[in-house]
Structures are given as structure tokens and as C-alpha cells.
Amino acid sequence: MMSLRLALRRSSLPVDFHNRRADGCTPLRRGEERFPEMLSEAAWLDALFASLARAGISPDIIDHRFTLRASEKQALLPQGVGVQKTVTLQIDRQLLLVSGVGDFRLTKATLRSLSKMLGLPAHCSRRATINPATFPAEETSGLPVGMVSPFIRCTGKGPLTGIALLAEGAPYSETAISLSLTKSAIVPSGRLFDAIGQYHRYFIPHLPLMVLHSE
């Protein structure tokens, strides 16, 4: 079983202990957080490319067939290029974006580690929900349906409580960042987290950013 070493890039995620059930878990309910303001599409693209530039990245732009799933996009990419996959994850009252390179699956070990990081009882990880229907990714991130990314367009405070990046050493030298459902920016995988960090610093600093390292 993979063990994970967790590093918190900002302050600890906020954990709401009010109205918790006897088992220690209190699901977040739709409507308890407002949906935030967002960047226009043009402003978002400018912000994304500015973040890439600050990370020293000059991306190659490619066009590809319309895709809605990470597995579909991965099948279209050149050899050595991994899709940037991102999912929403609800654990207790926390709603996270979890992102990594390649068509990964969230393991029980990852969910337990995230629960521990959030200060939640271990059994809350067993009730975690991936891509919860009550919080559609397009509403929490401001991106089109089928396109989920840590480069979110929503810059105000909303239901998201953090972003977790999976650093599991996927065998891809480059990563495809979605610019639309038919266009991607190809960047060096080794600089991807630098670019996300730049975007986070300038546009969404209120969201804690975590990196999960495999050992």
C-alpha cells in the first residue's frame, strides 16, 4: 500500500466542527456557501498564461478532438504527454479539488491521508464522495462542463475549501493543461506545480494548497 507524505503549502484547511454528527462527520449541504465571482474567459486565459510565464514555461498549444473525460483525452495525447486530471472531492464539510498527472484513481490511502490532514476522524474518508452531484465542478470552478482544473476561474470565496496536488511520479515528461474542451497547453511536468503555485499566489490565495508526495 502506498504511503503518503503530506506537505501543506499554506495554512491548515478550515474545519467546521459545529453541528457535527455523533460519528464525527457532517456533510456539507448545497446552499451553505455562496458561489463566487469569476474571471471572464479572456481574463482567465491571460491569468493562466501569465502564471506559466512566471514559472518559466513557454507552452506548446495543441488542438484535439472534443473530450469530456480524462481517459478520452489521454488516448488522444502524444506519447510521453499526460493529461492533467482533476476531480472534486467531498470529505465531511470540506470540498476539495484534487489534481494530478495521468488518469489516476484516488486510493483509500490517499483519502485517509487527506482526512488526517483535515483533522477529521479516519472513518470520514470511507464516506468521501468523488465528483459530488450537489456541487457540480462547473459551478465550483467556473469552467465548462467536462473541464476541471486547479486553474479555476472563480476567484472569490465559495464552496471550495482547498486544492490538493498529487505528486506521485507519473511516467510523463509533459502534461496537457486544458484551455478548452478542444485545446490544451503542453508544459513540462516538472514545472507544472510551479505554474499552479504562481496562479494560486496571484489569483486564488484564499484557498489552501496541499501537495501529497508518494514515498
Q: Could you give the CA distance from residue 211 to residue 68 in angstroms, rounded to a whole number?
A: 26
> Does the pLDDT at position 75 exceed 90?
yes
Percent of the chain whose pLDDT exceeds 90? 51
Q: 145-154 pLDDT, tens per residue?
A: 888 999 999 8
| pLDDT reported for residue 28 | 41
Q: Could you give the CA distance from residue 170 to residue 189 in angstroms, rounded to a whole number?
A: 9
> Which of the four pLDDT bands, split at 50, 70 and 90, describes residue 205?
very high
Q: Could you give the CA distance from residue 146 to residue 135 in angstroms, rounded to a whole number?
A: 14
DSSP state, residue 55: T
- Return the CATH superfamily for domain 4-214: YbaK/aminoacyl-tRNA synthetase-associated domain (3.90.960.10)
| pLDDT reported for residue 34 | 43
Set of cell numbers at residue 66 = 472534443
Q: Which long-range contacts (CB under 8 A, 24 or more apart) does 55-59 make?
A: 55/191, 55/194, 55/195, 55/197, 55/198, 56/191, 56/194, 57/187, 57/188, 57/191, 57/194, 57/195, 59/177, 59/185, 59/186, 59/187
| pLDDT reported for residue 200 | 95
| pLDDT reported for residue 133 | 87
**CA dihedral of residues 179, 182, 186, 190 (deg, nearest 10):** 70
> What mean pLDDT is predicted for residues 178-193?
94
> Does the pLDDT at position 206 exceed 60?
yes
Task: List residues bridging with 81 in a β-sheet.
Answer: 174
Q: Could you give the CA distance from residue 130 to residue 194 in angstroms, rounded to a whole number?
A: 26
Q: 14-70 pLDDT, tens per residue?
A: 333 233 333 333 444 444 344 457 888 999 999 999 999 999 999 999 999 998 889
How many beta carbons lie within 10 A of that of residue 4, not counting itself?
Answer: 19
Of 2-6, 96-100, 133-137, highest mean pLDDT: 96-100
Q: Could you give the CA distance from residue 28 to residue 128 in angstroms, rounded to a whole number?
A: 11
Regarding beta strands 209-214 and 162-167, do their DSSP bridges make them parallel or antiparallel, or are they unpaired? parallel
- Which pTM was predicted? 0.80
Least confident of 64-68, 185-189, 195-199: 64-68
| pLDDT reported for residue 185 | 97
Closest alpha carbon to 137 in 177, 183, 90: 90
Least confident of 25-39, 77-91, 121-135, 137-151: 25-39
> Which of the four pLDDT bands, split at 50, 70 and 90, describes residue 214?
low
